Amino acid sequence: MKLSARNRLNGTVAKITRGEAIANVMLDVGGLRIVAAITGEAVDELGLKEGARATAVVKASDVMIAVDA
């Protein structure tokens, strides 16, 4: 697989919660949890199951940090 995105986080599928159209896929990346909202069809096409290895690919133009004043 080749991608232009450089922000890739390898992990393990910790949990999949399916809704009517969208599934939340929780990925454990070294003890941190990342949740991606993808279609149920994508879950099936990717063969995602709890315990499977997967990669989170993050593509964003901005990341902002905020603190309470």
Which pLDDT score, from 0 to 100, does residue 67 have?
Answer: 81
Q: Structure pTM?
A: 0.82
**The predicted structure's pLDDT at residue 44:** 96
Distances (CA, A) of 45 to 7, 33, 41, 42: 23, 22, 6, 5
Please say if the pLDDT value at position 22 is more than 90.
yes
> Topology of 9-58 in CATH?
OB fold (Dihydrolipoamide Acetyltransferase, E2P) (2.40.50)
- Give mean pLDDT, residues 38-44: 96
Whether 37 has a pLDDT exceeding 80, the answer reads yes
Residue % of the chain over a pLDDT of 90: 68
